[in-house]
Every structure is written in structure tokens, then in C-alpha cells.
Amino acid sequence: MALTRMQILDFVGDAFDRGPITTEEMRKVASRNGADPDILILLEELPARSFTSPREIWPYLPDLPVGA
């Protein structure tokens, strides 16, 4: 499955509305929202830290395209 940034945001984007979110919280939100295992695996590649917006994620996933 070829993943995109938009797919990641479909599962975790709303979580940023409440403020910074940790990598672990992001994985939990994605899992609760029914994310595919491929997305959960990809989120595991992120460093253990807080992110204040989705833009802070993309430098850690530079090869992930924006959309299909």
C-alpha cells in the first residue's frame, strides 16, 4: 500500500486541534480511528516527542507523498 500524507492526516489530523500531541498519543488516536497497520508502522518511525502541528511530522517522513 502506497501511503500519503493525506491518509495519515485522515487518522490523526483532528488530534492536533487540542494542542501538542506525542508520538504515542498519535499512534493511539490512529488506532482508535481504524488506521491500517501500514499507517501505524509508519507512525512508529517518528521520534518520541511532542508535535504541535502535522507540519512537524513531515521532515521525519520525507519520502511520503502529499496525495495520490
25 lies in some domain: yes
- State the residue range of the domain holding 35: 5-60
Query: What is the C-alpha to C-alpha distance for residues 31 and 66, in angstroms, rounded to an integer?
Result: 21
Kindly report the pTM of this predicted structure.
0.86
**How many of the other CB atoms lie within 10 Å of CB of 14?**
11
Query: What is the C-alpha to C-alpha distance for residues 68 and 50, in angstroms, rounded to an integer?
Result: 28
pLDDT for 49 beyond 70:
yes
What pLDDT sits at residue 11?
96
65 lies in some domain: no
68 lies in some domain: no
pLDDT class for 1, splitting at 50, 70, 90? low
pLDDT class for 67, splitting at 50, 70, 90? confident
48 lies in some domain: yes
Domain count across the chain? 1
pLDDT for 62 beyond 60:
yes
